[in-house]
Amino acid sequence: MNFLLLSVGTRNKVVQYFRKAFNKVGDVIATDASPLAPALYEADRHYVVPRITDAGYIDKILDICKVEKISGVLSLIDPELSLLAENKEKFAQIGVTVIGSSYELCEMSLDKRLMFKWLSEHGYNCAKTYTDLKSLSSAVAEGEVSFPVFVKPARGSASIAISKAYDTQTVELLMNHDKDLIAQEFLNGQEIGADVYIDLISHEVVSIFTKKKLVMRAGETDKAVSFKDEKLFCLIERFVKEAGFTGQIDIDIFEIDGEYYISEVNPRFGGGYPHAYECGCDHMNLILNNLQGIANEKNIGAYSEGICMMKYNEVMISEK
């Protein structure tokens, strides 16, 4: 039983963890568009493939699945999640399970406007979101929101082009310059990350790991500490089940005065997942069980509190 990881980039640890889980049953194959993606070289075998926007991309991945006798596949980058979900059937026809959420949920997770709409319609705490200057100005005038506000791209990632704006002039300058920006109520609180696995067979939330983010760097959690709160676990479970996510997801949450606000979802392994794994939340093994037809037992919060993660740089040396 072999597993395929797409667009591995610098996610070396994720490849290593999959190899550990699949050690006895098969190989882990990795792909990336660049031969300089270090995580490629952690896999049993790897392929340098066209970019995901290339017309022949999916066919190339399907070919690799056939040649390598792949049972399950997932991607580690946002723009590829919808593409995989869209082609789920093609993979199923050759016996490959796509580990991921539905096309609609991948699209909703990518678009902060759609996510806000869903969250507010379903009664979840979230940052009030304004998609244009007019609605923001009237909300400010009515006292619904006040400065500072948080401005970011509606379909952004990796914290690119985010800003905290303290006045109308700044928001106007930003939003007039780029129509795809949104303005949000500034959430002033503790940032939290959750790594969640939703069983592919039972559709139950079987594992949740939560951490307080201590230091952020270049859009990623640089230092964090594990913690547990039953209230948060219940909220995550309710949200994930109501929305219908499946497989691995990563959720950004804010805590303000004891209340939790859902900020965004990445329906994939997040950059901070090694923290969860090293604390005992082995989601690769949950995936392996599912691929073998075994439903996982619910085991939420199976880790210790107060365990810190500190990221640091590594280098890989290879011949060209």
Ligand X SMILES: Nc1ncnc2c1ncn2[C@@H]1O[C@H](COP(=O)(O)OP(=O)(O)O)[C@@H](O)[C@H]1O
* Residue among 19, 46, 152, 283 that touches ligand X (CB under 6 A): 152
Q: Hey, how many other C-beta atoms are within 10 angstroms of the C-beta on 275?
A: 25
Closest CA to 30 of 16, 15, 17, 46: 46
Q: Which amino acid is at 216?
A: M
Tell me how far, at minimum, the Cβ of 150 lies from ligand X, in Å: 4
Q: Which amino acid is at 252?
A: D
Query: Count of residues for the chain?
Result: 320
Q: Is 146 in the site for ligand X (CB under 6 A)?
A: no
Residue 290 CA to residue 309 CA, distance in Å, equals: 28
Q: Is 181 in the site for ligand X (CB under 6 A)?
A: no
Q: Is 130 in the site for ligand X (CB under 6 A)?
A: no
The contact pattern for Mg ion, residues 246-275, with x = CB under 5 A and - = no contact, is ------x-----------------------
From the list 29-37, 86-94, 149-157, 298-306, the region that binds ligand X by CB under 6 A is 149-157
Is-contact 266 284, C-beta < 8 A?
no
Is-contact 5 31, C-beta < 8 A?
yes
Q: Which two tokens stand for residue 189?
A: 């609180």
Tell me how far, at minimum, the Cβ of 188 lies from ligand X, in Å: 7
What is the total count of residues that contact Mg ion (CB under 5 A)? 1
Q: What residues numbered 30-89 form the site for ligand X, per CB under 6 A?
A: none
3-state SS of the chain: helix, strand, coil percent to 5?
35, 30, 40
* Residue among 53, 159, 176, 304 that touches ligand X (CB under 6 A): 159
Tell me how far, at minimum, the Cβ of 42 lies from ligand X, in Å: 25
Q: Is 225 in the site for ligand X (CB under 6 A)?
A: no
Q: Which amino acid is at 59?
A: D
- Note the residues at the interface with Mg ion (CB under 5 A): 252
- Note the residues at the interface with ligand X (CB under 6 A): 127, 150, 152, 156-159, 162, 184-187, 191, 216, 219, 252, 263-264
